[in-house]
Homo-oligomer: A and B are copies of this chain.
Amino acid sequence: MSREPEPAVSDPSLSCCTPLTGTAMSADQAERIVPLLKALADPVRLRLVSLIAAGKGGEACVCDLNDAFDLTQATISHHLKVLHTAGLLDREKRGVWVYYAVRPDALRSVATLFDTAALTPA
């Protein structure tokens, strides 16, 4: 049987506004969202984002983040880089210290994905 015609990806610029339910997502849409999910699909990175988001102004210093885990500074730095590369965190250097801040738009992209899904009645 032939595949359904692609329902015209409306917004190729961003991976936003992709309902998980409703209509099936295209392969392109999946490829765009997956890097965000991959970055968050790690207990350390998920806690890092949570810690940063819970910090003042939605940001946190690396020096404080290191103390929150029983991991090497190199490992924390690696995870922060992964989150930054995925577009979930912003990086800003202030003197000796480096501050990471959450990117609300990135989180919103993921939220939109599951937002529609959650509305599905049981």
Contacts and interface: CB of A to CB of B under 8 A. Distances in A.
Contacts of A108: 117-118
A98 interface: no
Given A114-B111, A118-B111, A120-B102, A27 B43 contact: yes
Nearest to A68: B3
Interface residues of A, number: 45
Contacts of A43: 27, 30-31, 34
Contact of A34 (B33, B46, B54, B115): B46
A41 B58 CA distance: 25
Interface of A: 1, 3, 20-25, 27, 30-31, 33-34, 37-38, 40-44, 46-47, 49-51, 53-54, 58, 67-68, 102, 104-105, 107-108, 110-112, 114-115, 117-118, 120-122
